[in-house]
Amino acid sequence: MSNTSGDMPEPVLVDGLKQTSPMIDPFGRAVTYLRVSVTDRCDFRCVYCMSEHMTFLPKRDVLSLEELDRVCTAFIEKGVKKLRLTGGEPLVRKNIMSMIRSLSRHLDSGALEELTLTTNGSQLTRFADELYDCGVRRVNVSLDTRDADKFHEITRWGDLEKVDRGIEAARKAGLHVKINMVALKGVNSHEIDDMMKWCHDDGMDLTLIETMPLGEIDGDRTDQYLPLSVVRADLRERWTLEDIPYKTGGPARYMEVKETGGRIGFITPMTHNFCESCNRVRLTCTGTLYMCLGQDDAADLRAPMRASSGNGLLNQAIDEAIGRKPKGHDFIIDRTSKTPSMSRHMSVTGG
Ligand code: SAM
Ligand code: SF4
């Protein structure tokens, strides 16, 4: 169903929000979760994410904050309940707080259940209080090591102390912090126990992520790839891990660690296909909608949005895109050619 042609029903107004057709994909999955990369720029250069001398998108190609608000609102009208802002580093986008403040109206109306972000934590000392004030209650902070030198090695430009201060500010502001750690063989794999204890001592969940073959980087991914099935088996030698039904709306599978009482999540795109329950789509900062993180098919939403001030064309483009959401991804780290199976970087699609 689309509201673009004259014979289609007009959207219904509920709490001031136009309710348009909900998004159900060809496999019956309701799309209720939108991840938006608000910028491809970042103040770090993590080795698995970017090359040191990244070429960023020309500013004219990037959606304005008003356009980002408009497209997010169109998705909320179509049933998105959870919105995650990511990047690049979302908090380095100029005036990003004005957009977050504006989007918080959808939390106030109840149309949106959660507004959250994934951040490297570097700007949280500046923004934590305001984020809480805008209705943000949880943030994911990416942190791969507790060792300051190693942190600098992995992020190239990052400063662990600044991130620690950011995490502290977030917790003080009342934000629930979850730590995301990319597990890298020979880099931080020996630190997983310590990271878990550090998180659980402070009541934070830890989620481990397998490195994914997204975008050209300077190094060799086959050297870094560490299957989380191996990590889990290793953890089980020292810890009692119990499957729990806890869900945050994302792809992580959680376990409770009996000894700490804390939770550990595993995001395993490489070793486990989590696509059957996928409720997500991703929007880049240029307005390209990816229906799957691991597939190239995409829809341009910027052109239909810029073509008219009404949302008819935009809604039609969204509906067509959701109608093509694939069943699943097919990541491979090619051991012969060493090229990524996906050419775009995580900072473009958003993690
Ligand atoms: N800059 C923010 C941050 O680092 O949290 C948000 C964007 S970042 C692209 C989102 C997440 O993607 C981070 O947790 C990062 O560690 C992860 N990531 C980046 N490149 C990755 C890759 N090739 N494989 C797996 N995770 C990756
Ligand atoms: Fe920046 Fe996040 Fe990518 Fe690191 S993982 S370079 S912090 S976007």
Residue with the smallest CA separation from ligand 1 atom 12 is 351
Measured from the CB, is residue 349 less than 6 Å from ligand 1?
Answer: no
Report pLDDT digits (tens) over 136-192. Answer: 999 999 999 999 999 999 999 999 999 999 999 999 999 999 999 999 999 999 999
pLDDT in tens, 316-326: 999 999 999 88
Supply 107's token pair. Answer: 């939390």
Residues with Cβ within 8 Å of residue 122, at least 6 apart in sequence: 43, 44, 89, 91, 92, 158, 159, 162, 163, 166
β-bridge mates for residue 288, sequence order: 300
pLDDT at 262: 97
For ligand 2, what atom is nearest to the CA of residue 155?
4
- How many Å lie between the centroid of ligand 1 and the Cα of residue 346? 6
> Is pLDDT above 80 for 269?
no
CA within 13 Å, CB half, 337: 9
Phi (first) and psi of residue 45, to 5 degrees = -140, 65
Sorted by sequence, the CB contacts under 8 Å of residue 343 that are 6+ apart come out as: 215, 216
Which two tokens mark 23?
């998004």
Ligand closest to the CA atom of residue 88: 2
**Closest among 177, 102, 111 to 138, alpha carbons compared:** 177
For the CA of 211, the nearest ligand: 1
Is there a contact between 175 and 131 (Cβ–Cβ < 8 Å)? yes
How far is 127 from 56, CA to CA, in rounded Å?
Answer: 24
**CB of 50 closer than 6 angstroms to any ligand 1 atom:** no
CA dist., res. 23 & res. 301, Å (int): 15
Residue that is written with structure tokens 């609102």 in the block:
73
- SS3 of 72, please? helix
* Bridge partner list, 84: 35, 116
Looking up tokens 């870094």, which residue turns up?
Answer: 224
Tell me the average pLDDT across 213-241.
83
Query: What band does 3 get if pLDDT is binned at 50, 70 and 90?
Result: very low
Q: Average pLDDT, stretch 259-266?
A: 97
Q: Closest ligand 1 atom to the C-alpha of 180? A: 14
Q: Which alpha helices (H) appear in the chain, and where do they start and end? A: 65-77, 96-109, 124-133, 148-155, 160-173, 192-201, 221-224, 228-236, 302-307, 312-322, 346-349
**Ligand 1 pocket test target in 35, 36, 41, 46 with most atoms within 8 Å of CB:** 46
Q: Does the beta carbon of 301 lie inside 6 Å of ligand 1?
A: no
Distance CA(68)–CA(71), nearest Å, equals 5
236 CA to centre of ligand 2 in angstroms: 30
**What is the pLDDT at residue 115?**
98
* CA of 178, nearest ligand number: 1
Between 10 and 280, where is the model more confident? 280
Distance 351 CA to ligand 1 centre (A): 5
Q: What are phi and psi of 207, to 5 degrees?
A: -120, 130
Asked if 89 contacts 119 with a C-beta cutoff of 8 angstroms, the reply is yes
CA proximity to 163, closest of 183, 182, 148 = 148
DSSP state of 60: G
Maximum Cα interatomic distance, the chain, rounded to a whole number of Å: 64
Confidence of residue 348 (pLDDT cuts 50, 70, 90): low
Quickly list DSSP for 145-180. -S-HHHHHHHHSS--HHHHHHHHHHHHHHT-EEEEE
Q: Under 8 Å CB-to-CB from 222, ≥6 apart: which residues?
A: 333, 335, 338
Which of 40, 117, 120, 155 to mutate for ligand 2's pocket (most ligand atoms within 8 Å of CB)?
Answer: 120
Q: What is the pLDDT of residue 268?
A: 82
Between the CA of 307 and the centroid of ligand 1 the distance, in Å, is: 33
Q: What is the mean pLDDT of the chain?
A: 88
Number of residues that this document lists for the chain:
351
The topology under which CATH files domain 29-349 is TIM Barrel (3.20.20)
Q: Answer yes or no: is pLDDT of 349 > 70.
A: no
CB atoms under 10 Å from CB of 320, counted, come to 12
Q: Which residue has the tokens 């299957």?
A: 227
pLDDT for 129 equals: 98
